[in-house]
Amino acid sequence: MDLLSVDYGLAHIGIAVSNGPLARPLPPLRNSPRVLDQIANLVKTHNIQEVVIGSSTGPMEKTIKAFAFNLHKTLKLKVSFQDETLSSKDALKSLYHKSPKNRRLMEHSAAAAIILQNWLDQNLDPSPHP
């Protein structure tokens, strides 16, 4: 199943995709009124069947759920939630080899890849198929 993951932020939205057992980050999107259209284009380009959104409790919870609702309404795809606890911290660790500018640019997409990888690890059948 081809999946797209979203790490929602007020300024930037991290994006990652998978078409198998591994997630890979894509360039982040600037959060703007056109972002749903941009995500819809990515869904079409990558033949996405489901979206996974990083969720957390706290001040962003309602905003993320509202975004997920609008995403579901726009894409007509299943939207699942995955706990994003520590994904940003882990993302920054994975980007230490990048310059500070590139680190800031890719932080949300690296977090989206970690969120998606966690979802894949929990939901994919690990047994080999013939």
pTM, two decimal places: 0.83
* Average pLDDT of every residue of the chain: 85
CATH 3.30.420.140 assigned to 3-123: yes
Instruction: Please give the average per-residue pLDDT across 106-127, as a whole number.
Output: 82
Query: What pLDDT is attached to residue 101?
Result: 56
pLDDT, tens only, 103-116: 555 677 888 998 99
3-state secondary structure string, 64-122?
HHHHHHHHHHHHCCEEEEEECCCHHHHHHHHCCCCCHHHHHHHHHHHHHHHHHHHHHHH
Position 78 confidence tier, pLDDT thresholds 50, 70, 90: very high
Which of 86, 64, 62, 73 is CA-nearest to residue 6?
A: 64
Other C-beta atoms within 10 Å of 76: how many?
A: 8
Position 95 confidence tier, pLDDT thresholds 50, 70, 90: very low
